[in-house]
Amino acid sequence: MPSGSDTPAPAVPGRGRRFMALVRREAPRTVLAVLSGLALALAFPPYDLWPLSLVGVAALGLLTRGRTARQGAWTGLAFGLPFFFVLLKWLHVVGWDAVFGLALVQALYTVLLGAGLAVTSRLKYAPVWAACLWVTEEWVRDRVPFGGFPWGRLAFANTGSPFTPLAALGGAPLVTFAVALSGALLAAAAAVLWRLRRGAGRSVRAALPAVEAVGLAAAVTVSGLLVPVHTDADDHVDIAVVQGNVQRPGMDFLGRPMQILDNHATATEQLAADVKAGKAKKPDLVIWPENASDLDPFRYPQAYDRIDEAVKAIGVPVLVGALVDHPDKPGYVFNQGIVWDPKKGPGASYTKQHPVPFGEYVPFREQLSKIITRFQRVPRDFYPGDRTGVLDIGSARLGDVICFEVAYDEIVHDTVDAGARALVVQTNNATYGRTGQPEQQLAMSKLRAVEHGRAVVTAATSGISAVVAPDGTVTHKIPEFTRGVLRASLPLRDEKTVADRVGALPEWALAIVGLLSCVAATVIGRRGRTKDEKGQQ
């Protein structure tokens, strides 16, 4: 007779079975998170469906509501990965693996955001803490690693919405906070209505919190319309922006040496001929884009002479974008904007402070280049500058910001604080032409115009070159891959906005509140569990 020890034990579900049960249980929520991330991506240029930024925020809030930190983290990943993949798909010209890799790195921040939203969803005034956490996520992502990557901030999807004027009070972080607060309030209203739908008390009183939340969301949304945006100018300067164009888009846009430089020089000389013939008014200054000279003019006499010929032909100072070899460090190059005078030649210059990691320099080059041979296409590292780009160009005191630097709050703020009366964004988007990236960058210029009360000139090698008025309105534009000269009377302003005066204070305050809300939720949760355990004893 078999002993009791020989009796078969009850079947216990294996680890694989438990995993599959988890997958089935979480699948609907995961699919909704993916769709919500895609919706948020469509809020950004080139789609510009800004109301979807509210939908995306609200959806992520609902999907993480009442969940554990681990569950919220998974939902954050499912939300963030498709969002960043669609937002950054312009990087496919480098490779779709690059798109996925960068999207995955950026989605790690939404993993933390999802966890934070989950643990704070049980707190009183949860929508406020949720909005602060969105600022916290952007605060960290804008700085870490390698100086951060600010693409995809909620503020950059709202450069032509009722939220936009709030930038004049607290910059991009305040716009993000307002958008996130409105979305979180809508999520709170939806949660109340869902409970009512399931029969948890259908009285008018039970529905009142939903009405209040929707009303507050609407009030926050239109609050920006009450913010005065000053556009009056102290004086003006007549400018000409030269978009010389490139021969072809993509990684190999440079073509043969001197080709892009000759494009810009020729367009400038044509403008000079029109001025001489009385067909056009002579500008006070001319602006060329980033990398307008593909050769170092101080090393290659032919480049120097070609620039000098064009500048002397127009007879006014020209801001020239050029790559300049580092004088003391072989293998390093400066990305510069150089003020070139028709009589004195090259003078003051600005060196880009924030080169793009893996695009303009390769961190850990020796190690990574052995693994990823594509990095060999970045043969030299760009050396960062150490000062703001405030330059006297003729009669105008302009602030130069080069390409991706327009995405970084502190660089633009410091430039205005140093005395820039208008901003110039020299950029070269030829690699990413017709991918949506130039539109995304122009949207940042629109937000900066409102934030600092300054006109912003975007000078692009292949487009989009544009002038943005201090109220964020695009007044002049040259489309992509078109050679042209943009003429405008540029307003110059000295008055500073509230955002200029407070600087990064609103961002730090909101980000720290977001972190503290997570700490508070964790402490309260532990106390609750401790009480439950004591009650069971």
Catalytic (active-site) positions:
290, 352, 403
The verdict on whether omega for the bond into residue 127 sits within 30 degrees of 0, i.e. cis, is no
CA 113 to centroid of chain Cα atoms: 18
Q: What stretches of 461-505 adopt beta strand conformation (E)?
A: 465-468, 474-478, 484-492
Phi and psi angles of residue 115, each rounded to the nearest 5 degrees, phi first: -65, -40
Token digits of residue 206: 């039970």
Whether the CA torsion 158, 162, 165, 171 is positive or negative: it is negative
Which residues, 6 or more positions from 119, have their beta carbon under 8 angstroms from its beta carbon?
68, 69, 72, 518, 521, 522, 525
d(C-alpha 346, C-alpha 339), whole Å: 6
d(C-alpha 30, C-alpha 24), whole Å: 10
* Partners of 425 in the β-ladder: 401, 458
Q: What stretches of 113-272 adopt beta strand conformation (E)?
A: 235-243
Nearest CA to 83 out of 111, 57, 63, 103 is that of 103
CA distances from 395 to 238, 317, 422 (A): 10, 10, 12
CA distances from 360 to 79, 100, 297, 363, 447 (A): 30, 20, 20, 10, 25
Secondary element (H or E) of residue 443? helix 437-452
Phi and psi angles of residue 89, each rounded to the nearest 5 degrees, phi first: -65, -15
d(C-alpha 418, C-alpha 120), whole Å: 40
